[in-house]
């Protein structure tokens, strides 16, 4: 890549996390600390064709004087984003990811940088992919250097279970945990029997426990219905029970190496952490926003250093 214009080592960087539904920008100081953060619901699906330069302009408005470099990660590098950036193969470390970074024309005479996603193949040969989480993992490696962890779990719509060895992602697998939960709640017979209620940790724990019994997820899902039908479970406990069931199935199948570092929206990350603990897997949470910023800074520094 041509990184000529990103060479100025002393300049400040703007870190951008551009996902499917949200656009987040962080103005950072020379040390990588956040001076100002902005967020808009302008995920890539909300950007009109050709509208990416203008959307970036808008979210960094007023930051111009400080903006020497803009480094972005997430779905902005997907087919539906600004420019499709080829996936980098696993195993991958910060250097491999930095080598996959590509520039896009942003303003006249100025480019912005987009990080690549990762692709890996499981032992079964089926590919798996991520876009954005790889930067968070690199950030976690920076933030948690020396504390030691066996794997990283990114909670969310599509939960990611990442194996890390010697500073590199050696493999990962994605589970449709959160999306299946949302779709079943909104559109299945189970959703129709759910009533709102206060958080029910006991129901969640029962769901996690149930995931270890025989007969598989599709049978366990029907059991949610029968438990309510025969009066063994309250309708207001269904949502937490279902969540525990799906997270339990995910964890038993993914079998993350402990200790597990759990990232994601705080409430969901805490659910995974609790389920890990119930299954005897040592786990702690890490704020994913901090990890994203640290990862983008680490990648930017590597680009700057190499070019200098």
Residues that bind a second copy (CB under 8 A): 119, 122-124, 126-129, 158, 173-177, 179-180, 183-184, 186-189, 210, 213-219, 221-223, 226-227, 229-230, 232, 246, 249-250, 252-254
Which CB atom, from 12 or from 175, has the smaller least distance to a second copy?
175
DSSP secondary structure string for all residues of the chain: ---GGG--TTS-EEEEEE-SS-EEEEEE-TTS-EEEEEEES--GGGSPTT-HHHHHHHHTTT-GGG-SEEEEESGGGSTTSSS-PPPEESSB-HHHHHHT-EEEEEETTEEEEE---EEEE-TTS-EEEESSHHHHHHHHHHHTTTT--SEEEE-SSSEEEEEEETTEEEEEEEE-HHHHHHHHHHHSHHHHT----S--HHHHHHHHHHTTSTTHHHHHHHHHHHHHHTTSS-GGGHHHHHHHHHHHHHHHHH-PPSSEEEESSHHHHHHHHHHHHHTT--EEEE-HHHHHHHHHHHHHHHHHHHH-
- Minimum CB–partner distance for residue 54 and a second copy (Å): 27
- Minimum CB–partner distance for residue 70 and a second copy (Å): 27
- Minimum CB–partner distance for residue 172 and a second copy (Å): 10
- Minimum CB–partner distance for residue 211 and a second copy (Å): 10
Which CB atom, from 150 or from 223, has the smaller least distance to a second copy?
223
Which CB atom, from 276 or from 297, has the smaller least distance to a second copy?
276
- Minimum CB–partner distance for residue 285 and a second copy (Å): 21
Which CB atom, from 224 or from 261, has the smaller least distance to a second copy?
224
- Minimum CB–partner distance for residue 111 and a second copy (Å): 27
Report, in angstroms and rounded to the nearest whole number, the Rg of the chain calculated over CA atoms.
21
Which CB atom, from 246 or from 299, has the smaller least distance to a second copy?
246
Which CB atom, from 59 or from 119, has the smaller least distance to a second copy?
119
- Minimum CB–partner distance for residue 80 and a second copy (Å): 11
Which CB atom, from 20 or from 278, has the smaller least distance to a second copy?
20
- Minimum CB–partner distance for residue 43 and a second copy (Å): 14
Report how far residue 195's alpha carbon sits from residue 271's, in angstroms, rounded to the nearest whole number. 20
Which CB atom, from 9 or from 86, has the smaller least distance to a second copy?
86
**Closest by CA position to 180, among listed 158, 209, 154:** 158
């Amino acid at each position: 890549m041509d990184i000529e214009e990103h060479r100025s080592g002393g300049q400040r960087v703007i870190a951008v996390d551009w996902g499917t539904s949200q656009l987040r920008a962080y103005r950072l100081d020379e040390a990588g600390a956040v001076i100002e953060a902005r967020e808009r619901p302008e995920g890539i699906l909300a950007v009109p064709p050709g509208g990416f330069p203008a959307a970036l302009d808008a979210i960094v408005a007023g930051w111009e004087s400080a903006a020497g470099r803009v480094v972005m990660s997430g779905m902005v590098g997907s087919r539906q984003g600004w420019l499709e950036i080829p996936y980098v193969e696993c195993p991958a470390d910060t250097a491999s990811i930095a080598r996959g970074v590509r520039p896009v024309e942003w303003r006249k005479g100025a480019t912005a940088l987009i990080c690549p996603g990762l692709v890996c193949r499981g032992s079964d040969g089926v590919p798996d992919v991520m876009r954005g989480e790889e930067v968070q993992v690199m950030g976690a490696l920076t933030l948690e250097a020396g504390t030691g962890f066996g794997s990283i779990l990114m909670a969310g719509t599509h939960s990611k279970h990442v194996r890390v060895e010697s500073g590199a992602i050696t493999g990962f697998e994605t589970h449709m945990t959160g999306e299946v939960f949302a779709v079943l709640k909104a559109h299945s017979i189970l959703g129709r029997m759910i009533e709102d209620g206060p958080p029910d940790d006991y129901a969640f724990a029962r769901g996690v426990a149930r995931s270890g019994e025989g007969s598989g997820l599709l049978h366990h899902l029907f059991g949610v219905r029968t438990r309510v039908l025969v009066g063994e479970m309250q309708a207001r406990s269904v949502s937490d029970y279902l969540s525990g069931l799906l997270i339990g199935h995910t964890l038993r199948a993914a079998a993350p190496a402990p200790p597990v570092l759990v990232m994601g929206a705080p409430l969901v990350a805490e659910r995974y952490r609790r389920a890990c603990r119930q299954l005897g897997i040592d786990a702690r949470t890490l704020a994913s926003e901090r990890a994203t910023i640290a990862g983008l800074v680490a990648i930017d520094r590597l680009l700057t250093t190499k070019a200098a």
